[in-house]
Chains A and B, each alone.
Chain A
């Protein structure tokens, strides 16, 4: 049960945003611009960074929903999502994405964990300022969303089917504030 009185059976962040719509609006706007706005990283890659950070934070709701969204967006290459979540190094994702996921993992621990050599490694694989910025900010925002969702113990569905539906909706419509 959630720590505060929210609408029952509404999953994860949606229930919290319905509890306090004023703060919900910029929270969804931030997700929309960061994960769907202009970026040299594809939407599928950005959703994968979100799922990867959420998994490291052990937030099941965000991991499952963003992994499902990333699978939708990768389409026929969707296996990459589970490969990365299982083991980045063994996966067949690009070396640039490996370097960026390394940075995201450091940010998940704490900002200061990111060292100049981590940035250097990403640049060697062709990452530019914008890609590095977006990676750090996605990892930082999910360090917020994950804590929001778990810190208030919001409802986490356990049926994988529900997440497939969620993934389809989020891939197609993006982040629309719940009414």
Chain B
């Protein structure tokens, strides 16, 4: 049960955003800007960073949701996303992505864990300053979202089949205010 009184038909962060629309607005904008562009890093790569950090933070709702969104962008390649979440070093991704995921993992522990060597490796494998910036900020942003969701014990759907339906909405329309005012496809099915 959530720690505060929120709309129980809304899962995860959406229930919190509905509780506090004023703070939800800049959070939604930030998510859109960082996750919904293919500039430098693709949308799939950005969502994989999000899913990996959420996995490290043990946030079930966020790792399932963002994992499912990455799968959408990758035409259903669930195995790759699972591998990136749990053991990206063995995954079939670019060296640049491996270097950036290593930085994201350090950010998850604490900003000071990021080393010069990690930055150097990322740059050598082709990462630009903007790629590094976006990786650090995506990782930092999910350290916020994960804590917000779990810190208030937001409802977390345990039926894994509901996540891909939700992911499709995000893949098509992106993030934004509408996400807490439109019905969850999963909840319609549950009824």
Contact = CB atoms under 8 A, between A and B. Distances in A.
A120 to B, nearest CB: 10
Contacts of B191: none
A27 B116 CA distance: 26
Interface stretch (A14-22, A44-52, A81-89): A14-22
Contact of B151 (A20, A129, A140): A140
B107 interface: yes
Contacts of B145: 140
Interface string B15-31: 01001101101110110
Contact of A30 (B23, B119, B129, B152): B23
* Residue from A20, A103, A143 having most chain B Cβ neighbours under 10 A: A143
Given A114-B153, A133-B19, A149-B111, A29 B140 contact: no
Given A3-B114, A26-B27, A132-B3, A144 B140 contact: yes
B155 interface: no
A147 B139 CA distance: 8
Interface in A125-176: 129, 132-133, 136-137, 139-141, 143-153
A75 interface: no
A26 B151 contact: no
A11 interface: no
Given A149-B111, A151-B139, A133 B152 contact: yes
Interface of B: 3-5, 16, 19-20, 22-23, 25-27, 29-30, 33-34, 57-59, 103, 106-107, 110-112, 114, 116, 119, 129-130, 132-134, 136-137, 139-141, 143-153
